[in-house]
Structure 1
Amino acid sequence: MDFFLEVLIGGLLAGIMYSMVAIGFVLIYKASGVFNFAQGSMVLFAALTFVSLVERGFAFWSAFATTLGAMLALAWAIERGVLRPLVNRPPITLFMATLGVSFIIEGLAQLLWGAQVHGLELGIKDEPIDLGGILLSRFDLFAAGIAALLVLALSLLFSRTRIGLSLRSVASDPLAALATGIRVQRIWAVVWAVAGFVGLIAGLLWGARLGVQFSLSLVVLKALPVLIIGGFSSIGGAIVGGLIVGAGEKLAEVYAGPVIGDGLENWFPYVLALLFLLVRPAGLFGQRTIERV
């Protein structure tokens, strides 16, 4: 039982890391209905910028503030220069635009900082902690705490502030929100800025875990099952979906892997996502689309 709990809790903590990336998708999708495929590249750009500044002698908080400014500027440029001119275009057009932006961001990151692999240290060693006979990763506990604080801050932002109420109105009905005087484009800019900040936090945590390299942008692929299971329009759903994916892949790898074969952890989340698409296409917390005929 101790081993089972160790695997389960380790999977849940790892799932929170997936949720960090998925939250960036949810924010933009809720506000504009755009599936931002460039979120993975934003995570990479944030991590690469931060570690490059630190290697050039910047102090931690100076590098963090500079990187945050760069992420806010990048998010503003994407929203203003690419997506705003494509308002009211078909969803596939917007998706292809974010796909193109993804490659542009990766090219810009390579142009500015090079393509070499970097190690990123946040001062939290990835070593086990014995809690009642259960070994847990110190870094995973730290990441879980950061994710919890981030979710709490976003929940307060979107439920207790005027911007949050405006966002909920825009997500519900953009045309009605526009008719009531809400500046929809301003809300989109704010949401993209928040998504840039989330990308920075996720980039630091994932960069410290995997190393800062260009394959880091592929973490976006692991967020897709999280979004499908939790729902594309719910921050809470992103957290729950991440927990399900993290726990499911770890338990499957440990208990079913020896029977089925190695590598089960890499593709089992997509099996879960496919099952959810067949049974509950909107996800656990997503809203079904109702079209009037």
Structure 2
Amino acid sequence: MSDWLFFIEVSLAGLGSGALLSLTALAFVLIYKATQVVNLAVGEILMLGGYLFFAFAAGMGLSPWVAIPLAVIGGGIVGGIVERGIIRPMLGEAAISVFMVTVGLGSVLVGLVELIWGTDPRSLPNFIATAPLFLGEAYVSRKIAVAFVVAGIVVTVFLVLFRFWRGGVALRATATDQAAAYSCGINVPGVFSLAWIIGCATAAGAGVLLGAISGISPTMGIFGLSALVVVIVGGLDSILGALVGGLALGLIQSWTGTYLGGEYTSVVTFSLLIVALMIRPYGLFGTHEIERL
């Protein structure tokens, strides 16, 4: 009985981690869905969100409930600046060129964070209660439970918005056919900016939640690599894939780290990536595009 209880607790922790992976993967999906750009700097935007919260809450002494929206807005502003100043001038260039620009952007963000706040890990001001939470007899960290609930709400909201909101319809139309979207009067450059702003704001919010659980450091952007595995397995253009893939990978990583050892987590994660690319390169829920050359 105790073994089963321990397994349930490990699984609940994995679902909480998976929810954060889903939220981060959503940032990848939103940007790729509208602009066909794989933004490898999402992990560093996530890191920046955590540090912005730290700056507002600890540095300026603002209430955490004021600092959270400011950090999210800050991430969105960075996304808008990057899209307008760096990505848009590169439209029409080779995809690998744009991809490498996002790699360089990630390194620049890490360098700026280290210059401003240093390289030492830091703890965020507490804004989530630490009292134990029990589901039946199973213990789950309250911070992880809150992260799971918030991530689930955000992903659900995006699913609804993409289906019914006019801006969401414009995003879907642009993702499907940019030329047709132009002909229908959709402001495609505006849609690009909107996607980058919302995607980076989402990543910054995920950074605040992740920082509340495990603290912040300039290396926390590595979390984005696991989220990239999620979107490749789930589908680069699928919000549902980000949700399902994130929860599944969170469970797998939690089980692996607990029963095999933490050193095997990366091995299993990226082995899963290789297998997924070999079997279903467009993802479990991604669009299977067939092009005639």
Decide: shared fold, TM above 0.5.
yes
CA distance in 2, matches of 1:22, 1:144: 14
1:80 aligns with 2:84: yes
1:17 aligns with 2:26: no
CA distance in 1, matches of 2:156, 2:135: 25
Q: Which residue is equivalent to 1:270? A: 270
Name stretches of at least 5 consecutive residues in structure 2 with no aligned partner: none
CA distance in 1, matches of 2:9, 2:277: 30
**1:126 to partner: Cα distance:** 5.1
How many residue pairs get aligned? The number is: 289
Query: Cα RMSD over matched residues?
Result: 1.8
The answer to whether the Cα contact below 8 Å between 2:53 and 2:67 also exists between their aligned partners in 1 is: yes
Higher alpha-carbon deviation: 113-122 or 69-78:
113-122
* Deviation >4 Å, runs of 4+: 125-128
Residue in structure 2 matching 1:234, options 227, 234, 238: 238
**1:222 to partner: Cα distance:** 1.4
Q: Which amino acid counterpart does residue 119 of structure 1 have in structure 2?
A: S
Structure 1 residues 275, 128: CA separation in 2 closer, same or farther (over 3 Å shift)? farther
The answer to whether the Cα contact below 8 Å between 2:28 and 2:228 also exists between their aligned partners in 1 is: no
CA distance in 2, matches of 1:264, 1:137: 23
Q: Which residue is equivalent to 1:162? A: 166
Q: Which amino acid counterpart does residue 87 of structure 2 have in structure 1?
A: L
TM-score, scaled to structure 2: 0.92
Q: Which residue is equivalent to 1:187? A: 191
Taking the TM superposition and a 5 Å limit, the aligned residue runs for 1:72-151 are: 72-125=76-129, 128-151=132-155
**1:235 to partner: Cα distance:** 1.1
Q: Which residue is equivalent to 2:34? A: 31
TM-score, scaled to structure 1: 0.92
The answer to whether the Cα contact below 8 Å between 1:52 and 1:113 also exists between their aligned partners in 2 is: no
The answer to whether the Cα contact below 8 Å between 2:256 and 2:262 also exists between their aligned partners in 1 is: no
Higher alpha-carbon deviation: 57-66 or 142-151:
57-66
**1:262 to partner: Cα distance:** 5.4
CA distance in 2, matches of 1:21, 1:174: 25
Identity %: 34
Residue in structure 1 matching 2:178, options 156, 174, 177: 174
**1:253 to partner: Cα distance:** 3.4
Higher alpha-carbon deviation: 280-289 or 164-173:
280-289
